[in-house]
Structure 1
Amino acid sequence: MRTAASDISMMNIFFLLEALLLVDGVFGVDETVSLSVIKGDSVTLKPHTAIPEDDTAQWWFGDLIIAQMNKAAGLFSTSEGDKVGFKDRLNLDKQTGYLTITNIRTNHTGDYNLKIKSTVEKSKIFSVTVHDAMKSLSVMEGDTVTLHTGVTDIQRGQIQWKSGGVPIADLNEDLTIRNIQRDQSGDYELEINTTSMILHRKLHITVSDEMKKVSVKEGESVTLNTGVTEIQGYDLFWMFGDDVIGNINKETKHTYDSKDTRFNGRLQPIGKSGDLTISDSKPADSGVYHLNMSSSSHTVQRNITVTVKAIDHSMPIWKKIVIGAVIGIVIAIVFAIVFRIVTKSWPCRKKTLDPVPSGDMDLLESNLNKESDTRNTH
């Protein structure tokens, strides 16, 4: 059986629920939209909240007012932002209340809060993160270049890529250019239009025809270049075959050098440029080395072929002939010198006949004559 007390209690519950629904309908639930952009982008924040003609809407950056508008009063101001680091960077749409930040900088990272003043205040928050990534990059012919959008959950028709102002792709993802060539140098533009924002980005690509084949002699050092003077905001790694032989992590700044026994301590520490140097090269170092550099705005992949020419330690025939001839001449010279020294040391011996005395000669002649007469008598 229902009592008066129970009826009152039920009515109180209904009134409470109605009041909660009313409050939720008037105040709404603060919505936070997270956005990730790159330094230099132009980004438009779209609150999608109806702003009454006679109401005042204010854009806040943290606890600072940077723009405000009141249609009835003809108030459209961004001068507040000029005073707190947004000079000449803010544009306010007079119809929609959309706020555009041009050439956004890293110090513009933070929460942007749209507050609409009326009987009850409504609010929408955009949490914007600005990455310090390069907007101009230099690559080599044959590289694979991927330009990142930096956003997720994009639906078809919300992304448009252009090159030199001409549409080149209507994608729902990053733009990848494989085997890039010199005639593909230029400006690449990205436009993203979602329910929460409009983003414009421009990146400039310069393609050079630097050699991607390196040939050295055994024992020489070989350096593989990244093409940049300083690695900032990159995740970078070098690979040889299936092995990572060096990398840099943009978050931890950790540099790893391979302990691979093939190199045996011959890999030089990776410096600020990310270049890889192999000292005292060996023929076994020949092969394809893979570079991967990834940032918030783009990824570059590169293959460099290294050839280490082995030194032929065997002696060529002509060299053997020359050396043999030289050795023969040296031996002949040495022999001649020795012979000369030896012959000079011998005593000089000459055989001479002693002269016969004249008396003996007369006696000999007389005896010969007598012998001749005796033969004639007989």
Structure 2
Amino acid sequence: LKMKIFILCIILSAFFMLVCISAISAAQLDQMKKKEGESVSLDPGVIKHPNDVLMWYFNDSLIAEITGDQSKICTDVQCDERFRDRLKLDHQTGFLTITNTRITDSGAYELKINSSRFNISRNAFGVDTDGVSVMEGDSVALHTDVKMTQQDRIRWYFNSIRIAEIIYKHSKICTDEQCKERFRGRLKLDSHTGDLTITNIRTTDAGVYKLLMNSRNSDRIFNVAVSGVSAAEQNEMKRKSVKEGESVTLDPGVIKPNDLMRWYFNDILVDEITGDQSKICTDDQCKESFRDRLKLDHQTGSLTIMNITNTDSGDYKLLIINSRFSIIRSFSVIVTCECNSVIQCLRKILLQLFSLLIISIIFTCKSKQQIVVTLSFVTL
């Protein structure tokens, strides 16, 4: 009878130990949310004995093993390529540490100890990536945040397909037909920084862009979301037709508080927002052209042109910059004049063009420190 009770106690102890192990694993699930670049340690939850065989698996692939006094990490090429010396195994405790975590490290990690096992549930830990939201027709630049050297090699991937690379300052874009067919000359690669720019972006360009660089210990992941806009909506938002003397507002859409914003008119900087500071027309050419008719909303970033004239017609560009990416959004403004006759309309246009010419001459003379010649003209 005593023997039966003893055996029953052993069975119950084993049962409660398994329950405890499962409870530890479930508790760990809530603690394994990590940001990209951080480290995470997976705790076996049991005391390791000298003769135990511990095997760590990632998505059913063996990545680390302890047998007696011997340990192995990443014995196959696939594991070595994925983790790149970022795994550490504590021989005494069986702890597995993943350093400098990446989004590709998310998944199910499982530990087998002899014949016992417990699971670290799928998505045991996750990493955050950079989200980029743009509008169809925008251009977006994805930044490497480094200055390249002669020895650097970088590779850009879109949904696991290589689309661009730089090897020792030699760049290649879309070397296969699938990439060429998708992007059709809309990719640009900066040979000095490695930044990738997608121009005139489409909804089919939405997805995961991944940067691999040999001089970095980590990859960089960009989740690009593209809002689909119909031709009519895009025309309404980005093409503004306004009568002379009225006001028009160019709306950038949703922006983040820390973004740097710059408004350009025909490639001339007219406005800038940096943090809680804003600047309007810091050079003479801009001041002469707009004469205090620009208004900048610091909260939304929208630009308003008041009492608009024909010379304000043209292309306006908004550049939104942060450390990880830049977005270029283009607007077109067309100013129409109300005239009683064709001759009156032509007079106004010629006068405005002549005024613009004089402003340009004055600005050029000032910059070259020459004598400014005053020109006078007679109203047509």
Bigger Rg over Cα: 1
TM-score (norm: length of structure 2): 0.47
